[in-house]
Structure 1
Amino acid sequence: MEQYHGLEGHDGPDHGGSDRPAPEHPAPGHPARGHPARDNDGGTDFHAFVRSQRGELERQLAEWVRVPGVLGVPEHAQDLLRSANWLAAAFRDVGFPVVEVLPTGESHAVYAEWCEASGAPTVLVYSHHDVRVAKPGQWDQTAPFEPAVRDGRLYGRGSSDAKGQVLAHLWSLRAHLHQRVVEPVETRPVETRPVVEPVEARPVVEPAQTQPAQSRAPAINLKYLVEGEEEAGSPHLARLLEEQGDRLNADFVLFSDTLLFRADHPALCVSLRGMLSAHLELTGPEVDVHSGAVSGAAPNPAFELSRLLAGLHDENGRIAIPGFYDDVAPVPEHIREALAHLPFTEQDWLERSESGSITGEKGFTVPERLWLRPAVEVTALIAGDPAGLSSAAVPSVASVDLSFRTVMGQRAEKVAEQFRQWVQDTVGESYGHTLSVDLETAQEPYRTPDHPAVSALERAMANGFRSATVGRMGNAGGGPAELLSRSLDAPVLFFGTGLVEDHWHDSDESASLEVLVNGAATLACFWDELARME
């Protein structure tokens, strides 16, 4: 079986570490490079097909959302397997001849392959099916795993991050195959590997079986790797990539776990930041001590931790760790210009992000702060009695979880050492401290290099979203893009269907069904664009 085909014009193994920009992009306000969006009649056909099947897409997404595949919660371990089996069944229903469920640490990944287009490009699509823990008491629209549709949105944990993104892919394939309908052919046997049987009391929920389309295989070669540990930093992905070896070879990776700029203004994501997590504990008294007995004479680790956190930034909003910016690579001017031409307004951003106000590093716009500059955030902070009645005691321990977002040029290991040294030099003598930095799940930043598929994706987005222009953006969050590129020796492109207003990791997560339709049409156009590449 042909599984890997070189693309003419690919520059070789320098996939993400360089500062070479993505291919030339149009001047702001001009049509996507190659031809205007309206020139591709296939885009209209794809839209019509997906829109006619929107009810089924909605039904499938609701069914999958009901499977609570929460990572990191022991009672949901079996649900992660059920989620993987649900997706495996959905791949088979589309027609994929190779579908496997692969154990990975605490979860399972799904691999699917359809490679019958000799001489055509091969694409490996990456995404994930595991979801974040949800607190039902904080959800107002519906319970986290009881999906509901309101005002064109499907509410439920995982609806946008990232089950909706995966289903956009499946429906893009159905649209693509629908366009290639021929006389009925024999059904190919499905290759599977046995997996652990689910418990009898809670059977696997699978998509309703529909009659497979009688069609040719896709016009390109497609491989999907949908992991089940992304929400924990993909701790076993490197091993999985090594174990699977050459079967994952591809001309490039399409990374589908990112945000769009706005539903009505598509922008091509060309980068994402790295991520490094740290946990710091400060200790003061040997035990929690009644404040009325020692107040004014005992070390309070909550005050000391507050002092440290306040000192993480200077008066200009820059991270005050010595040497932190030494390796930050200069941003090509054309990228800053592209961001400047996005229709960004502070009012629109505040309404959609619900972030309350705008802060950050002076001298940079909000898009630049989000996508081009490093940052650090407090994600958890505990001291004393975080819940229930107060004991009115000076706490013996104060702790904080921090998330560093790094950019091109920075490396997680060096940032970790810089932070360790800063903590060592900054914590007062009256306090003890313990610092752990998670290098195992650290992720490096990545920028898409020059590759002919970038222009093809740009044209597909113009058609899929029926827009004359396609902007440029980055992704503020992290992901294993650099690991995928390095392990597979292939460049990574990005296309996701999330929006900042989708409430990822928060209560009332939802996905715009219209965006999913446009995303599926975009991907169907992309497969056609790739098939025409020489």
Structure 2
Amino acid sequence: MHGFLAGHRDAVVAELAEWLRVPSVAGVPEHLVDLQRSANWLAAALRRTGFPSVEVWDTDSGPAVYGEWCAEPDAPTVLVYSHHDVRAAKDEEWDETAPFEPTLRDGYLYGRGASDAKGQVLAHLWGVRAHLAATGRRNPAVNLKLLVEGEEETGSANLQQLLQDNRDRLGADLIVFSDTLMWRADHPAVCVSMRGTMLAQLEVMGPLQDVHSGAVSGPAPNPILELSRLLGQLHDDKGRITVPGFYDDVVEPSQRFRDELAALPYTDADWLERSRTRSIGGEAGYTVLERLWTRPAIEVTSVIGGDPIGPSRAAVPSLATADLSIRYVCDQTGAGIAEQLRQWVADTISDRFEHRLTVSPEAAQDPYRTPDDLPAVAALAEAMQEGFGHPAGRMGNAGGGPVVLLSQSVGAPAVFFGTGLPEDHWHDSNERVSLDVLLAGAATLAAFWERLPRR
């Protein structure tokens, strides 16, 4: 298995680089044809791997690819989920390579989508190839179904409809969700939870139109100042969110899980170097890993007001806007948080201003935790030890994804496995993937398909 993958290292690089050259950028109309090209590329790669049934499912904003290899009636059936669309990239901010001109350097392949998530998808293809080569089997030891969508980066708008339209074909005993990070290359860990995610936008209205500050400065209501005041009150001096009722449904992490997180190798210096976050904050009373994976958070991701581009007009603006990213945990609900946030804004904002809060809990992606007694978790931990050469710990995932939608639609529990690392620069310039981690991930999957039926 390891020998097979080592012998095909150059082929893995060449195949991934070829796919990365397709700029399958989500949410940009001129790249819709590139999303189609990316889907067709993946469909062809699945057929080369041996999948006897492969289809491209069209949607309005990005096609999904479905592959099926079900040749073992008595074996478990696994649905693998990931995505092939990528985030937009600003060429001028990349200095290792242009975003869609992949370059191999010092053991890393650079390019948009290298880690999020084309590299993760390719690990599955090479995992199947290594599994067949190591076992001499003609078919995988499990029945495999792959669903790789093309709209994840813009919220998976059509995924629910795809799942409904193909419900009879997507039945499975287990879901493997592959759009996640690992903790460290030298210390694998099984991810057993994912926070939920919901977006909100707060608009604060001041004057009825932009007004020259020399004429009204002082008595005029400045929406930037009021928005800043609101955002400054969103957290207290202990890092806790001040929205009343926000923590009512938050369940404390179990002592077992806290102990498992404490067992992961961690130092502040290592975290700051790999995450590029400059300093550490957040909710007092919890470790950094507990804050990341077991506690909710609200971040401000964008603030716009006045003249952000070009010379200032020296006017008091009529509007200031902030985008919020809300990460929430199991037992919290998107609807509950939305109502709490609406009430907090209404109670906190000055009556000199109007406001509009846009939040859509129906579009939220709910949190998920893998059942503690799921046998597949133990099988995956064993496979990760074989693939990476180190015992596997336990971790969570700080991001979000449609795992609850998948689990409810398919009627199966989910486990998480990805080959990304915090230092891979997802959604940022110079995105990259470690070739060693990618190959170890493929070896893990090869071992997992062999071990899973025994569990």
> Which TM-score applies when normalising by structure 2?
0.98
**Offset of 1:398 from its aligned partner?**
0.4
**What is the rounded CA distance, in whole Å, between the counterparts of 1:75 and 1:454 in structure 2?**
42
**Offset of 1:56 from its aligned partner?**
0.7
User: Contact conserved, 2:167 with 2:409, CA < 8 A, in 1?
Assistant: no
**Offset of 1:164 from its aligned partner?**
0.2
Q: Find the partner of 2:25 among 56, 70, 75.
A: 70
**What is the rounded CA distance, in whole Å, between the counterparts of 1:162 and 1:439 in structure 2?**
26
1:443 aligns with 2:365: yes
**Offset of 1:531 from its aligned partner?**
3.4
**What is the rounded CA distance, in whole Å, between the counterparts of 1:251 and 1:245 in structure 2?**
14
Tell me, what secondary structure is at the counterpart of 2:277? coil
Query: What's the counterpart of residue 19 of structure 1?
Result: none
Structure 2 regions of 5+ residues with no counterpart? none
Query: What's the counterpart of residue 209 of structure 2?
Result: 287
**What is the rounded CA distance, in whole Å, between the counterparts of 1:144 and 1:379 in structure 2?**
23
Q: Find the partner of 1:408 among 285, 306, 330.
A: 330
**Offset of 1:351 from its aligned partner?**
0.4
User: Contact conserved, 1:152 with 1:514, CA < 8 A, in 2?
Assistant: yes
**What is the rounded CA distance, in whole Å, between the counterparts of 1:147 and 1:390 in structure 2?**
39
Q: Which letter does structure 2 place at the counterpart of 1:464?
A: G
Query: What's the counterpart of residue 135 of structure 1?
Result: 90
**Offset of 1:246 from its aligned partner?**
2.1
Q: Which letter does structure 2 place at the counterpart of 1:50?
A: L
**What is the rounded CA distance, in whole Å, between the counterparts of 2:179 and 2:292 in structure 1?**
16
Q: Find the partner of 1:103 among 58, 63, 73.
A: 58
Query: What's the counterpart of residue 346 of structure 1?
Result: 268
User: Contact conserved, 1:232 with 1:441, CA < 8 A, in 2?
Assistant: no
1:466 aligns with 2:427: no
**What is the rounded CA distance, in whole Å, between the counterparts of 2:107 and 2:247 in structure 1?**
43
**What is the rounded CA distance, in whole Å, between the counterparts of 1:66 and 1:389 in structure 2?**
37
**What is the rounded CA distance, in whole Å, between the counterparts of 2:255 and 2:275 in structure 1?**
27
Q: Which letter does structure 1 place at the counterpart of 2:383?
A: A
Query: What's the counterpart of residue 147 of structure 2?
Result: 225
Query: What's the counterpart of residue 2 of structure 2?
Result: 47
1:250-269 maps to which residues of 2 (within 5 A)? Answer: 250-269=172-191
**What is the rounded CA distance, in whole Å, between the counterparts of 2:6 and 2:207 in structure 1?**
63
Q: Find the partner of 1:381 among 295, 298, 303.
A: 303
Query: What's the counterpart of residue 155 of structure 1?
Result: 110
Tell me, what secondary structure is at the counterpart of 1:179? helix
Query: What's the counterpart of residue 14 of structure 2?
Result: 59
Query: What's the counterpart of residue 502 of structure 1?
Result: 424
**Offset of 1:409 from its aligned partner?**
0.8
Structure 1 regions of 5+ residues with no counterpart? 1-45, 182-214
1:296 aligns with 2:218: yes
**What is the rounded CA distance, in whole Å, between the counterparts of 1:240 and 1:428 in structure 2?**
45
User: Contact conserved, 1:272 with 1:478, CA < 8 A, in 2?
Assistant: yes
**Offset of 1:441 from its aligned partner?**
2.6
Query: What's the counterpart of residue 456 of structure 1?
Result: 379
Deviations 1:77-112 (A, max 9, x none): 111111111100000010101100001231110000
Q: Find the partner of 2:321 among 399, 413, 419.
A: 399
User: Contact conserved, 1:168 with 1:517, CA < 8 A, in 2?
Assistant: yes
**Offset of 1:384 from its aligned partner?**
0.8
> Which TM-score applies when normalising by structure 1?
0.84
Tell me, what secondary structure is at the counterpart of 1:443? coil
Q: Find the partner of 2:133 among 178, 185, 198.
A: 178
Q: Which letter does structure 1 place at the counterpart of 2:340?
A: Q
User: Contact conserved, 1:273 with 1:405, CA < 8 A, in 2?
Assistant: yes
Q: Find the partner of 1:164 among 116, 119, 129.
A: 119
What's the Cα RMSD here? 1.0
Pairs aligned (count): 454
Query: What's the counterpart of residue 99 of structure 2?
Result: 144
**What is the rounded CA distance, in whole Å, between the counterparts of 2:53 and 2:249 in structure 1?**
44
Percent identity between the aligned chains? 63
Tell me, what secondary structure is at the counterpart of 2:286? coil
Tell me, what secondary structure is at the counterpart of 1:429? coil
User: Contact conserved, 1:234 with 1:441, CA < 8 A, in 2?
Assistant: no
**Offset of 1:438 from its aligned partner?**
2.6
**What is the rounded CA distance, in whole Å, between the counterparts of 2:6 and 2:312 in structure 1?**
55
User: Contact conserved, 2:209 with 2:317, CA < 8 A, in 1?
Assistant: yes
**Offset of 1:55 from its aligned partner?**
0.5
**Offset of 1:290 from its aligned partner?**
1.3
User: Contact conserved, 1:376 with 1:403, CA < 8 A, in 2?
Assistant: yes
Query: What's the counterpart of residue 77 of structure 2?
Result: 122
**What is the rounded CA distance, in whole Å, between the counterparts of 1:59 and 1:386 in structure 2?**
42
**What is the rounded CA distance, in whole Å, between the counterparts of 1:267 and 1:366 in structure 2?**
16
Q: Which letter does structure 1 place at the counterpart of 2:257?
A: I
Q: Which sits farther off after the overlay, 162-171 or 285-294?
A: 285-294
1:171-250 maps to which residues of 2 (within 5 A)? Answer: 171-181=126-136, 216-250=138-172
Query: What's the counterpart of residue 483 of structure 1?
Result: 405
Deviations 1:452-502 (A, max 9, x none): 1110000000000011x2111000000111111111111000000000100
Query: What's the counterpart of residue 28 of structure 1?
Result: none
Q: Which letter does structure 2 place at the counterpart of 1:257?
A: D
User: Contact conserved, 2:370 with 2:413, CA < 8 A, in 1?
Assistant: yes
